[in-house]
């Protein structure tokens, strides 16, 4: 499509030196120059280019009065060819000619077509020889200004009765390189000429329409994008070439002339896309592919500048330069691939040869090197049509090749399928025989497996019975140990004996609960409690052991932190982790307890010690039942691990998680997550469960009793009974009921019930 630009290039004769040398002999067909144009034959039009004089108005501001000035009259020069051409510029051109009508019919002047003649001011003399108001017409003026309805601008010169010589002036301005052949003749003669031009144009459009529809059909049939690119190429060729040959489809919409470069860029783009696909340049010649991309990008930038306000005439030099580079790259690409034997390069160069020949003929015509007639002037239509036809034939050949390849592939597939069937039959036969042999062996193996399975099943049943017996024995022993331990705890007065008993009781309860919750979910009695109070209760239980090793226990828990938990279970979690920390922390060590809240309102409780730490390769067994951390120095297990297993079961039953971080030689941090509750902890003495309807005075007495009892440990039975007897002496019945409950909890060794009764805000 970018060959269209050769039209503009052709007007610059410095590009045609070679062509002029080749075709100078044809100049004998040029017309002659005379002062007065005499028109005699009303049946023929007359080309008057050689008989005109022209003047370039570089300012575009000269008026008819300025032109009539003798000084400017001397500046008119005789035209040197039948067709006036010039490079694109902002100049206006004035033309002067003398006409004598001897045809006895009205004669008209044809001043060019819509592509070149953007503004036409035609001055005809009145009866006194004066030039007053011009006829204003042209591509950038409405079609209502035309004196005669035609694709070309026809202006009346003289009536049939006027035989005197008249001088006419025409001012023409164009935004592109003008190509202006001037004719005079009767309407009949001009219409006959123009009808031949219409016929040639419509024949060209018909040919392009056939190529368009045929290849569109091929695209839908094959889904091959090259046909779609060709359809785009044909469509833009038809629009752009006819527009550049004075046939506009756009009426009085002046945008198409003012933005000439912007929209004709689509023609260049269509040609580039088609060439890239047709020659498959991305694979066959990558360097040419990259050059095309660079040039078409440059073309696009020029089009954008034109679209957003820069005049066509100001961009024409760059426009022409890019065009020339595209043409040169196309020629060299075609020749290179032709030498390399590329199949499509033959069609490509043959098609382009016809187009180039037609372009050369056109250039020679408008520069006066060949005679101007309809065949030579519109030779480009023929060149484009042959080019499009040859490309279409090449694509049809591509379609036939694809069809042939498809048929060959189908035959090959059938052959392969037949061969595969033979091979498969042979393989199936071999496999069938092999499977029959293996089935026999497998049958023997299965019989052996079934026998082993029966033996394993018997062993499993025996193991299950033994395991069940072990669990029942363990539970029975734990239950049998629990009651004597309660009695020892109640009667022991030596603090070391008491603490050892409590440790033993805790271990027994751990074992009992781990086995109890192995197959069933731990049952929870959840309520809202102060996390600080829970931790303090646990610390009191292990404080004696810590003092034995001079270990300090520090707590940093917000006293307002309320958690929704089963109080007794979480106290045991604290106790188990604290016992573990005390066991592995050396003398004079430290234990830290702290809590923090995350973004999901979960409370993370951390218990850190300054012990020897846990090796990284043993962290995974810490919470397993009977998981034991081996001391590398002693090669002995330091703990049964049952207490931490209980902690894992308890925390997970609360919907939380538990973990440990440890570094050898530094210490360990056991942590677990609990759910926070924003509610206020519920006082035990006002619950429906206790059903004690106390007066304010009774509440004060009970609070005093609880305050004194909290100073004592659970095993200090004698001191507890003294306080209870003191308050039982009162006359208030509710105080006596509460005291009786405290006694029952102490005598039964029920530490959980005792703590529950003492829990009072």
If we measure between CA atoms, which residue out of 377, 378, 373, 376 comes closest to residue 31? 373
Phi, psi torsion values for 562, nearest 5 degrees: -115, 130
pLDDT of residue 463: 72
Please answer whether residues 215 and 230 qualify as being in contact, where contact means their C-beta atoms are separated by less than 8 angstroms. Answer: yes
Side-chain half-sphere exposure of 392, counting CA atoms within 13 A: 22
Q: Are 527 and 567 a contacting pair, CB within 8 Å?
A: yes
Which tokens hold the place of 142?
A: 């409405």
- Dump the DSSP string for 371-417: ---HHHHTHHHHHHHHHHHHHHHHHHHHHHHHHHHHHHHHHHHHHHH
Helix orientation angle between 642-653 and 495-516, rounded to the nearest 10 degrees: 60
pLDDT of residue 577 exceeding 70? yes
pLDDT (mean) for 743-758: 72
Average pLDDT over residues 256-272: 85
Q: How much is the pLDDT for 495?
A: 61
What sign does the CA torsion over 428, 433, 436, 440 have? negative
Report, as an integer, the average pLDDT of 429-451: 82
Distance CA(32)–CA(82), nearest Å, equals 9
Q: Is the pLDDT of residue 403 over 80?
A: no
Per-residue CA distances from 549 to 38, 544, 581, 641 (Å): 137, 9, 12, 21
Q: What are phi and psi of 543, to 5 degrees?
A: -60, -35
Report pLDDT digits (tens) over 693-748: 667 777 777 888 888 888 777 667 778 888 888 777 776 777 878 888 887 777 66
pLDDT for 20: 35
Residue 271 reports pLDDT greater than 60? yes
DSSP codes, 521-552? PPP---EEEEHHHHHHHHHHHHHHHHHHTT-E
Alpha-carbon distance values, 517 to 521, 523, 527, 575, 626 (Å): 6, 9, 21, 19, 15
Please give the mean pLDDT across all residues of the chain: 80
Supply the pLDDT for residue 629. Answer: 60
- The structure tokens 């002339």 sit at 257
Q: Measured between alpha carbons, how far is 114 from 120 in angstroms, rounded to an integer?
A: 10
Helix (H) or strand (E) holding 512: helix 495-516
pLDDT of residue 4 exceeding 60, the answer is no
Distance between CA atoms of residues 44 and 192, nearest Å: 9
Rounded Cα distance between 355 and 345, Å, is 15
Identify which of 753, 736, 733, 735 has the alpha carbon closest to the alpha carbon of residue 744.
Answer: 753
Is residue 37 within 8 A of residue 48, CB to CB? The reply is: yes
Q: Are 603 and 651 in contact (CB under 8 A)?
A: no
Please name the helix (run of DSSP H) or strand (run of DSSP E) that holds residue 571, with its range, or none. helix 567-584
Q: 107: how many CB neighbours lie within 10 A of its CB?
A: 26
Structure tokens of 539? 């610390």
pLDDT of amino acid 7? 44
> In terms of DSSP bridges, do strands 552-556 and 590-597 run parallel, antiparallel, or are they unpaired?
parallel
Residue 494 pLDDT level (bands cut at 50, 70, 90): low
Q: Distance between CA 28 and CA 628 in Å, rounded?
A: 117
pLDDT in tens, 352-402: 888 888 888 888 888 878 888 888 888 888 888 888 888 888 887 776 666
152: helix, strand or coil: strand
Which residues are within 8 A (CB) of 572 and not within 5 positions of it... i.e. 6 or more apart? 506, 509, 510, 646, 650
What per-residue confidence (pLDDT) applies to 296?
Answer: 92
The pLDDT of 10-25, averaged and rounded, is 38
CA distances from residue 399 to 172, 186, 392 in whole angstroms, order as listed? 50, 52, 10
CB atoms within 10 A of CB 440: 10
Q: What span, in angstroms and rounded, lies between the C-alpha atoms of 44 and 190?
A: 8
Q: Is the pLDDT of residue 752 over 70?
A: no
Neighbouring residues of 326: CB distance < 8 A, sequence distance ≥ 6: 2, 268, 272, 292, 295, 296, 299
pLDDT interval class at 512 (50, 70, 90):
low
pLDDT band at 98 (very low <50, low <70, confident <90, very high): very high
pLDDT at 122: 95
What local confidence, expressed as pLDDT, does residue 732 receive?
74
Our CA dihedral for 308, 312, 313, 317, rounded to 10 degrees, sits at 100
Residue 93 DSSP label: E
Q: Is-contact 81 368, C-beta < 8 A?
A: yes
pLDDT at 166: 92
Q: Which two tokens stand for residue 500?
A: 């050892």
pLDDT at 589: 92
Q: pLDDT grade, residue 29 (50/70/90)?
A: very low
Contact between 465 and 491 (Cβ < 8 Å): no
pLDDT digits (tens, 9 = 90+) for 145-161: 888 888 889 999 989 88
What pLDDT, on a 0 to 100 scale, did the predictor assign at position 687?
37
CB < 8 Å & 24+ apart, contacts of 714-721:
714/489, 714/746, 714/751, 714/754, 715/489, 715/490, 715/492, 715/498, 715/501, 715/502, 717/490, 717/491, 717/746, 720/746, 721/746
- What is the spatial distance between Cα 674 and Cα 577, in angstroms, rounded to a whole number? 15
* H/E run at residue 180: strand 179-181
pLDDT, tens digit, for every residue of 279-298? Answer: 889 999 999 999 999 999 99
Q: Is residue 194 scored above 50 in pLDDT?
A: yes
Mean pLDDT value of segment 78-105: 90
pTM above 0.85, yes or no: no
Go through the chain and tell me how many residues it has: 761
Strands 46-47 and 183-185: antiparallel
Which residue, 242, 202, 181, 203, is CA-closest to 365?
181
Q: What is the mean pLDDT of residues 431-445?
A: 81
CB atoms within 10 A of CB 243: 21
pLDDT digits (tens, 9 = 90+) for 660-706: 999 888 899 999 998 877 544 434 333 333 444 667 777 777 888 88
Distance CA 352, CA 358 (A): 10
Residue 602 has pLDDT above 50, yes or no: yes
């Amino acid at each position: 499509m970018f060959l269209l630009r050769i039209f503009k290039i052709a007007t610059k004769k410095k590009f045609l030196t070679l062509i002029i040398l080749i075709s100078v002999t044809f100049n004998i067909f040029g017309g002659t120059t005379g002062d007065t144009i005499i028109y005699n034959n009303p049946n023929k039009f007359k080309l008057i280019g050689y008989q005109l004089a022209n003047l370039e108005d570089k300012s575009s501001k000269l008026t008819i009065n300025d032109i009539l000035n003798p000084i400017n009259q001397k500046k008119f020069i005789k035209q040197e060819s039948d067709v006036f051409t010039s490079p694109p510029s902002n100049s206006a051109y004035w033309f002067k000619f003398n006409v004598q009508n001897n045809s006895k019919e009205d004669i008209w002047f044809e001043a060019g077509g819509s592509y070149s003649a953007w503004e036409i001011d035609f001055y005809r003399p009145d009866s006194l020889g004066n030039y007053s108001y011009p006829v204003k017409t042209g591509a950038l003026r409405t079609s209502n200004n035309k004196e005669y309805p035609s694709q070309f601008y026809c202006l009346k010169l003289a009536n049939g009765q006027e035989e005197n010589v008249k001088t006419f002036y025409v001012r023409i301005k164009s935004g592109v390189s003008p190509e202006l052949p001037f004719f005079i003749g009767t309407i009949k003669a001009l219409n006959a000429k123009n009808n031949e031009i219409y016929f040639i144009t419509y024949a060209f459009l018909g040919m392009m329409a056939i190529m368009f529809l045929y290849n569109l059909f091929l695209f839908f049939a094959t889904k091959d994008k090259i046909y779609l690119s060709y359809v785009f190429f044909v469509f833009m060729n038809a629009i752009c070439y006819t527009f550049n040959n004075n046939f506009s489809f756009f009426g009085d919409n002046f945008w198409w002339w003012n933005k000439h470069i912007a929209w004709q860029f689509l023609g260049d783009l269509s040609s580039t896309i088609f060439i890239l696909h047709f020659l498959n340049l991305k694979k066959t010649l990558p360097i040419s592919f990259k050059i095309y991309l660079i040039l078409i990008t440059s073309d696009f930038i020029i089009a954008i500048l034109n679209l957003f306000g820069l005049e066509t005439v100001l961009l024409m030099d760059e426009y022409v330069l890019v065009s020339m580079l595209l043409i040169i790259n196309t020629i060299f690409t075609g020749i290179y691939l032709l030498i390399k034997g590329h199949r499509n390069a033959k069609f490509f160069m043959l098609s382009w040869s016809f187009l180039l020949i037609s372009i050369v003929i056109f250039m020679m015509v408008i520069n006066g090197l060949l005679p101007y007639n309809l065949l030579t002037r519109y030779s480009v239509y023929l060149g484009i049509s042959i080019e499009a036809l040859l490309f279409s034939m090449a694509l049809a050949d591509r379609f036939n090749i694809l069809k042939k390849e498809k048929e060959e592939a189908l035959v090959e597939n059938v052959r392969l399928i037949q061969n595969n069937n033979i091979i498969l039959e042979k393989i199936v036969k071999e496999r069938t025989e092999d499977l029959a042999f293996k089935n026999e062996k497998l049958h023997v193996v299965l019989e052996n497996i079934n026998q082993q399975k029966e033996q394993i099943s018997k062993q499993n049943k025996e193991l299950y019975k033994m395991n069940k017996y072990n669990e029942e024995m363990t539970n029975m022993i734990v239950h049998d140990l629990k009651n004597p331990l309660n009695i020892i705890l109640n009667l022991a007065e030596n603090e070391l004996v008491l603490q050892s008993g409590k440790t033993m009781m805790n271990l027994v309860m751990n074992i009992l609960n781990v086995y109890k919750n192995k197959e069933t979910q731990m049952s929870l009695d959840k309520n809202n409690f102060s996390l600080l109070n829970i931790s303090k209760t646990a610390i009191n239980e292990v404080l004696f052991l810590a003092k034995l090793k001079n270990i300090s226990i520090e707590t940093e828990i917000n006293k307002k932190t309320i958690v929704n938990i089963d109080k007794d279970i979480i106290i045991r979690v604290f106790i188990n982790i604290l016992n573990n920390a005390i066991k592995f922390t050396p003398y004079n060590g430290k234990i830290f307890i702290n809590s923090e809240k995350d973004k999901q309102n979960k409370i993370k409780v951390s218990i850190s010690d300054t012990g020897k730490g846990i090796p990284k390769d043993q962290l995974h067994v810490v919470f397993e039942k009977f998981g034991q951390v081996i001391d590398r120095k002693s090669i002995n297990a330091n703990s049964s691990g049952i207490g931490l297993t209980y902690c894992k079961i308890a925390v997970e039953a609360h919907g939380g998680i538990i973990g440990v971080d440890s570094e050898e030689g530094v210490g360990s941090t056991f942590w677990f997550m609990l759910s926070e509750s924003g509610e206020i902890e519920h006082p035990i003495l006002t619950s429906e469960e206790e059903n004690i309807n106390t007066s304010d005075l009774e509440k004060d007495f009970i609070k005093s009793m609880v305050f004194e009892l909290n100073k004592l440990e659970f095993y200090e039975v004698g001191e507890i009974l003294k306080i209870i007897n003191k308050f039982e002496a009162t006359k208030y019945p509710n105080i006596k009921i509460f005291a009786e409950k405290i006694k029952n909890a102490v005598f039964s060794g029920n530490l959980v019930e005792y703590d529950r009764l003492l829990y009072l805000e």
